[in-house]
Amino acid sequence: MIPVAKPYLPSREKLNSYIDGIYDRAWLTNNGQLVQELTRRLEEYLEVENLLLVANGTLALQIAYRALGISGTSNKTEAITTPFTFVATASSLKWEGIDPVFSDIDETTWCLDPSLIEQEITSRTKAIVPVHVFGNACDIEAIDFIAQRHDLKVVYDASHAFGVKYRGKSILRYGDAATLSFHATKLFHTGEGGAIIFKRKEDLERAKKMINFGITGPETIEELGINAKLSELHAAIGLSVLDEIDNNIYARNKVADFYRQQLSNHYQHQVWNNYATQNNAYIPLVLNTEESTIKLVKYFQAMKITVRRYFYPSLSNIPLVLKNNKKTTISDGIASRIVCLPIYSNLPECTLHEIVKHLLLFDEKE
């Protein structure tokens, strides 16, 4: 079976060299040498400051909310976000006592439509949580303007945006915080893991306490904390993957370029922000109808090739995370007709050509 995504597995020799160091030091967690090294190297590679490694991308969002004072209190707290995203964007808010209020997306970029945000703001709104969908930059200036006008925090879910630059600098520099996921199938991964990039040093220092139970010394607890630390073994994987990141990106770019060259005139594609670079984290396309989408998925399943309906369903249709009953028509429509195609660095060329061939054949049947 050809998967839609596949973990990048770095050199065993390189990975073993990092693990040998772990054995020599007998230090597995609690801000060990490799976690510190990975933090420094990621800040350098991504051209950011105030980066904090955590155990996964969901905890990255939750710690960001708490460090920024967004998490819920006795009074109901709300945050405006998109329904066109992975469920963790909304469920992380709910876990922190924050009601996600869904606002609709732009029909071309698939990111939050800034023109619709202000009508959702109430006295309970504390934050906006936009998503750089599939790595595509939101309308950052418009969102930040709204946030400043209404004194709201902005936490960008940048799980898909590793390495993306916006107006010549890292997209992770925008907002009060931006979060990354380092799940196994991401462009860069640590097996499981994530990171938060804070705008302000003081927020980083508070979050550092939070991810270690609030403990600041042998007999001192200064914050309400939780265990969200990244282990040395996960950092070893991350360092090994980072050592080979250029090769990984080059191979993925070749796959993405071939898809675009062959399919650009046959399906609806995401319109990329003119000021943002692409990292080719995903290859999404949209069909004409949901019926066609379901048919396409089954068509490829029969050939043992996975194409995923991602993101589906639109989160505005999930009662567990729903706050408002307002229709998000564009999100619902895109979510019902979208599929993501297989992309990973060692996708066989013959398989890539086979996928495109069948997509073109399927398109002719429509």
Topology of domain 12-243, per CATH?
Aspartate Aminotransferase; domain 2 (3.40.640)
pLDDT in tens, the chain (366 residues): 999 999 999 999 999 999 999 999 999 999 999 999 999 999 999 999 999 999 999 999 999 999 999 997 657 899 999 999 999 999 999 999 999 999 999 999 999 999 999 999 999 999 999 999 999 999 999 999 999 999 999 999 999 999 999 999 999 999 999 999 999 999 999 999 999 999 999 999 999 999 999 998 888 999 889 999 999 999 999 999 999 999 999 999 999 999 999 998 889 999 999 999 999 999 999 999 999 999 999 999 999 999 999 999 999 988 776 655 578 999 999 999 999 999 999 999 999 999 999 999 885 455
Topology of domain 245-365, per CATH?
Aspartate Aminotransferase, domain 1 (3.90.1150)
> Six-digit token pair at 62?
């939750």
The whole-angstrom separation of Cα 176 and Cα 303 is 46
Compute the residue count for the chain: 366
Paired strand residues for 305: 2
Predicted confidence at residue 75, as pLDDT, reads 74
The whole-angstrom separation of Cα 259 and Cα 257 is 5
CB atoms within 10 A of CB 158: 29
Total-model pTM = 0.96
Catalytic residues: 186
The whole-angstrom separation of Cα 260 and Cα 285 is 10
Contact (CB, 8 A) for 80 and 101? yes
The whole-angstrom separation of Cα 91 and Cα 106 is 22
Predicted confidence at residue 325, as pLDDT, reads 57
Whether omega before 311 lies within 30 degrees of 0, making that bond cis, reads yes
Contact (CB, 8 A) for 305 and 342? yes
Predicted confidence at residue 365, as pLDDT, reads 52
Domain borders along the chain are: 12-243, 245-365
Predicted confidence at residue 25, as pLDDT, reads 98
CB within 8 Å of 16: residues ≥ 6 apart: none
Angle 15-45-251 from CA coordinates, rounded to 5°: 65
Contact (CB, 8 A) for 118 and 124? no
Predicted confidence at residue 364, as pLDDT, reads 40
> How would you classify the pairing of strands 77-81 and 125-129?
parallel
Contact (CB, 8 A) for 197 and 50? yes
Report the run of H or E that residue 170 belongs to, with start and end: strand 169-170
Predicted confidence at residue 362, as pLDDT, reads 85
Predicted confidence at residue 327, as pLDDT, reads 81
The whole-angstrom separation of Cα 104 and Cα 299 is 31
The whole-angstrom separation of Cα 131 and Cα 136 is 9
